[in-house]
Amino acid sequence: MTDLVFVYGTLKKGYSNHQLLKLAELQSGGTTPGIMLNLGAFPAIIEGRARVFGELYKVTPEILASLDRLEGHPHFYERKLKEIFIDSDTVINAWCYFLSKGAQEYYQEVCEVIETGIWDKKRL
């Protein structure tokens, strides 16, 4: 069995945690509704109407479990099934990690919004 997961930060190709996806299959790029926050070394997203850009991967249950551990699911990040827009004609459902309600109470007040919805630590 495989699942689809949408990543938008350090799990993207070329970033520090991408090694967890080395056996996963890249499906495409895409976007999902949300607001991206800069937490310093990594981003988070919360519910919102802006767009977050990222990559879509096909993962095994074992890979998904390792992502859950990295993301602190469900305490720090919460994995949610969300609509991912591949292009104007293609929308699919995939797992995506959102900042948990408890973590939002702290971070939302002390971090900046990344208006572009693109995590690019090299530019930040």
Question: Active-site residues: which are they?
Answer: 71
* Residues 111, 29: Cα–Cα separation, whole Å: 26
Rounded to whole angstroms, the Cα distance separating 55 from 110 reads 27
Q: Which amino acid is at 65?
A: A
CA–CA separation, 100 vs 88, rounded Å?
A: 29
Report CA dihedral (93, 108, 11, 74) to the nearest 10 degrees.
Answer: -60
Q: Comparing C-alpha atoms, which of 118, 10, 18 is closest to residue 59?
A: 18
